[in-house]
Structure 1
Amino acid sequence: MANKTLFSSALARFLPRADTVNEAGGKAYAYGPEALLAQLAATGTLSDGFYAHAEGQLAKALEAARAVDPLWVAKCAVYARQSGAMKDMPALLAALLSVVEPDLMVPVFRRVVDNGRMLRTFVQIMRSGQVGRTSLGSRPKRLVREWLENASIRQLMQAATGNDPSLADIVKMVHPAPASAERRAFYGWLIGKPYDVAALPAEIAAFEAWKADRSRPLPDVPFEWLTAFDLTPKQWAVMAERMGWQALRMNLNMLARKGAFQIDGVTQAVAARLADAEAMAKVRPAPYQLMTALGQVGEGVPLLVQAALETALDASLARVPKLEGHVVVCPDVSGSMGSPATGYRKGATSVVRCIDIAALVAAAMLRSNPQTRVLPFEVDVVPLKLDPKARVAVNAAKLAGVGGGGTCVSAPLALLNREKAKVDVVVIVSDNESWLDPSRRGATATMNEWTRLKARNPGAKLICIDIQPYGTAQAKDRKDIMNVGGFTDAVFDTMARFANGTARDWTQVVNEVEIGMN
């Protein structure tokens, strides 16, 4: 048999040359315009990252969007919102379509702007001038008005939580036509104009009455409206019943501080809500959000509630695929992975780090396939023993607690080659800012090491999960290599489809998004 090392070395000469330098100064491959926009849409939060600033991210996103077909912009916007659970980037792309392809903007708006927060974000971006206009314009104004007119009173109340712009600002801009006396009274109350008190929605009337007399029952309004008031533990217990699922997850420590869990039955009720599979199916919390909630719960949060969070985490990972064969997962644990996953933003920086997401992916795959090998890496592979039977949160915390050095994405592949390991699927979870790799023959070290590995394992596939919007990769897309961006459970689905051969690459998955024009 021919010498595999010799012939893999010869083949390496024909590998694609690295065509750019990443933010860390290492050799890399630039994404093409379509892949770049998809990656930015799925990971971009328009906030400062470890290597790049928000302004640069915005400029890169707009440049990429203008370089592709508007239909692709529309598909990326819908994918990012509905599969990637992103906020700012889908709103930005919808706003851009209002300038470059107004007809496409209509169906995209209706699928992307699905709550009050998204409505406010869209209006803010439209008025900022970043997409080429400083006003809404007739068609966007009509769509915003349509959203307001079709929203329920409860949806409008939720939308009225937040500023810059506030819902009152938006109502003043677009002048929605109230279809009922109740709606007319609500708009008047919202913007500070005269209104018919008798026609107010019951919830708003109760809120105004309660503000005048705090002995009344707690009004059924968004809990954010009430947090500025001095509430009793019993009132906080009522709040715990009324909060949305995500708000409940995020405010467990506050409920503990305010004494809500001291009220009989509250602990059991909160635990039941958090573990409710039907409620989770509607909300679809990201697994990393639940892991973070587990890591942040204080001593005052009852153990029963903490156990319910673990149940919720396991349920959120039910869709993690079991990849067949010899699977290796390589989470990047280098220094840059300690940065917030959604970037730095004054007053709103996420506590979820990139390393937390990488660790969770690895721990989840180990849970679904106990034979999975986990190779965390920074400058080199970091030795770490994990128990496949341990709770996902335990293994994820172990992984997130190691590392901190430079980045060498090729390190785990080099180790597998030194071991002459048998491999079917390799999954690398990283920010792709590799700079310590030894580079040869124009290709990145990752491509060179993958070529050596493929010489021994011709059917092997490489999946690179990119969780930061920097726009470069260490491996070039081809039939055995896929780069996918994002950090929600949609990535697991895409990964499974590629591994079993039902998807060529990530752009194919995004391209399957249908945009109706009616």
Structure 2
Amino acid sequence: MANKNLFTSTRGKKLPHADSHNLAGGRAYAFTAQHALAQYVATGCLNGTFYATAGEQLDKIIELAGQVDDHFLAKTAIYSRREAHMKDAPALLCALLANRDVELLAEVFSQVIDNGKMLRNFVQIVRSGITGRKSLGSAPKRMVQAWLNRASDDALLAASIGQSPSLADVIKMVHPRPKNAQREAFYAYLIGRPYDLEKLPAVVREFENWKINREGNPPKVPFQMLTSMELGKREWLTIAKDAPWQMTRMNLNTFARHGVFKVFGMTGKIANRLKNERLITKSRAFPYQLMAAYLNADDSVPNKIKNALQDAMEIALKNVPTIPGNVVVCTDVSGSMHGPVTGYRKGSTSKISCLDVAALTSAAILRKNPDAIVLPFENDVVKVNLNPRDSVMTNAAKLAALPCGGTNCSAPLAWLNKHRRPVDMIIFVSDNESWIDSSRYGSFGGGATQTMREWNQIKQRNCKARMVCIDITPNGTSQAKESSDILNIGGFSDQVFKTIAAFASKSLNPDHWIGEINQTIIKTPMKKIAN
């Protein structure tokens, strides 16, 4: 009799053979070059992760960029900045485009390089030589000059914060031609050369005068320009009154330490700012940043502020879809998910892990879909009791506290098959580095991943079922082969929820996520850069 392990019959359609291995060594399906590039750029912060160093990620992005055409490279740069809210990776794609099509770079430059931090990133990457050149070249130089001349005074002042390179370095490098006497004086001021004080922008004059006499309230300049000085309670109160949203979120403990919340009306003012929907949207806040602020707020921060952060979280998660039918959320709680979501960076590693983001995403989906089943998994499914009426923060904390083990993406699907649960939508939140099931079940059964085998059984009972695999780490493979009923997407901005909503409603174009990126409009009118 023939070997039963080799010739076991499989019900349903023929399963695709796994054609690759993931970083953990498990069998997997390789993405196309376009999909892999989008995945790396939408999730990669160019820092070390559990499975890959920063250098390995950089090399992979450059390799994948070489396999796609210039227009897709440009559209991915726009998408990763505008929708995925990334910083380093879209600047890297622009630097690569500078070597390939400078006319196309000119069309996308202002859409990707939209603030001073992004400008300095772009210049740093080009000058590093990693993309094939060590000088900007005439066309990119003109783009940087145009950016500087279009930027508002506030945008330039904000851009002056930071080093390697500093804004002064950039100005000295490209020699922008000032459009008037005020901008000429401002450039001189920024690079440390003699200037006419009376010709500086008003806010800069106020700052220079205030540094000398310290009379009245501090001027409305970037707070980093003030915090480098010795400040009293009055100065901190002024800073807190005028602080932008992101600065407020990041300095709640500092405000508490300097007595800001003890001043009548300030707690309410700052709470209202934190939960202001317009400001949250404008700041391009990641939901996990609110989670970080909430978890890091110490006992001296008033409860009203902490409640405002929870309200802000609900606003930041407004794009989480309500999905009809039976929804299952599979949350990866394995050991590799405990690495920082933005990677390891000496001196500035985030305390928020991939698991925190996965738990937050899962809890948010449960909040909008209270009848959903949440199946945390590592080697196998892990039991957890979640109340959909609890806050997103509470349920996320429960998920993040679960014990960890290896990664077995097929485990929750096997659980669903074992219990014969009806399914309409399955949502995975994982790093997709499944390896337990590869070793547990071997390489038989047609060479498909165990995830696809279990999915095939689910489809036997639930022919209209769909599956979304959200990957929150840089990756070039998946456990589930892309098809009409399987969506693979990377990232952790609210754009992920918009895409899931479109997939659930069957309004997503046939190419799914990559089709969405391809629909990105490249050309945009030049506009003044505001802070």
Compute the TM-score of the two structures, normalised by the length of structure 2.
0.94
Structure-2 separation of matches of 1:75 and 1:151 = 24
Structure-2 separation of matches of 1:370 and 1:58 = 40
Q: Does 1:212 align with 2:223?
A: no
Equivalent position of 1:195 in the other structure:
195
Q: Does 1:271 align with 2:294?
A: no
Structure-2 separation of matches of 1:309 and 1:445 = 41
Structure-1 separation of matches of 2:488 and 2:375 = 19
Quote the offset at 1:213 in angstroms.
2.2
Verify the 8 A CA contact 1:364 1:392 in the aligned structure 2: yes
Q: Secondary structure at the match of 2:14?
A: coil
Structure-2 separation of matches of 1:517 and 1:261 = 43
Verify the 8 A CA contact 2:322 2:369 in the aligned structure 1: yes
Equivalent position of 1:507 in the other structure:
514
In structure 1, what residue type is equivalent to 2:481? K
Quote the offset at 1:402 in angstroms.
0.7
Task: Write out per-residue CA displacement over residues 86-129 of structure 1, whole angstroms, 9 at most, x where no aligned residue.
Answer: 00110000111111122211122110000000000000011011
* Aligned positions of 1:130-279 closer than 5 A: 130-279=130-279
Structure-1 separation of matches of 2:281 and 2:95 = 29
Structure-2 separation of matches of 1:473 and 1:119 = 34
Q: CA RMSD in A?
A: 1.5
Equivalent position of 1:493 in the other structure:
498
Equivalent position of 1:446 in the other structure:
451
Verify the 8 A CA contact 1:120 1:166 in the aligned structure 2: yes
In structure 2, what residue type is equivalent to 1:298? D
Q: Secondary structure at the match of 2:488?
A: strand
Q: Report the CA distance shift for 1:173/1:27 in structure 2 as closer, same or farther (over 3 A).
A: same
Quote the offset at 1:193 in angstroms.
1.1
Task: Write out per-residue CA displacement over residues 131-175 of structure 1, whole angstroms, 9 at most, x where no aligned residue.
Answer: 111011111111111010011100000000101000000110111
Equivalent position of 1:125 in the other structure:
125
For structure 1, the residue ranges without an aligned partner over 5 or more in a row are 1-6
Q: Does 1:467 align with 2:472?
A: yes
In structure 2, what residue type is equivalent to 1:506? W
Identity %: 50
Equivalent position of 2:322 in the other structure:
322
Verify the 8 A CA contact 1:327 1:423 in the aligned structure 2: yes
In structure 2, what residue type is equivalent to 1:464? C
Equivalent position of 1:331 in the other structure:
331
Verify the 8 A CA contact 1:52 1:470 in the aligned structure 2: no
Structure-2 separation of matches of 1:93 and 1:414 = 40
Structure-1 separation of matches of 2:75 and 2:152 = 28
* Aligned positions of 1:402-417 closer than 5 A: 402-417=402-417
**Structure with greater contact order relative to length (CA < 8 Å, sep ≥ 6):** 2
Q: Secondary structure at the match of 1:95?
A: helix
Equivalent position of 1:426 in the other structure:
426
Structure-2 separation of matches of 1:365 and 1:58 = 32
Equivalent position of 2:487 in the other structure:
482
Structure-2 separation of matches of 1:258 and 1:151 = 34
Please say which of residues 432-441 and 152-161 is displaced more in the overlay. 432-441
* Aligned positions of 1:358-437 closer than 5 A: 358-437=358-437
Verify the 8 A CA contact 1:8 1:452 in the aligned structure 2: no
Q: Secondary structure at the match of 1:376?
A: strand
Equivalent position of 2:354 in the other structure:
354
Equivalent position of 1:35 in the other structure:
35
Verify the 8 A CA contact 1:8 1:451 in the aligned structure 2: no
In structure 2, what residue type is equivalent to 1:433? E
Structure-1 separation of matches of 2:513 and 2:199 = 52
Structure-2 separation of matches of 1:282 and 1:470 = 29
Verify the 8 A CA contact 2:153 2:201 in the aligned structure 1: yes
Please say which of residues 262-271 and 83-92 is displaced more in the overlay. 262-271
Structure 1: 4+ residue segments shifted above 4 A: none
Task: Write out per-residue CA displacement over residues 272-322 of structure 1, whole angstroms, 9 at most, x where no aligned residue.
Answer: 111212222322311111112111111111111111111111111111100
In structure 2, what residue type is equivalent to 1:36? A
Verify the 8 A CA contact 1:80 1:90 in the aligned structure 2: yes
For structure 2, the residue ranges without an aligned partner over 5 or more in a row are 1-6, 526-531
Verify the 8 A CA contact 1:333 1:377 in the aligned structure 2: yes
Equivalent position of 1:3 in the other structure:
none
Compute the TM-score of the two structures, normalised by the length of structure 1.
0.96
Quote the offset at 1:403 in angstroms.
2.8
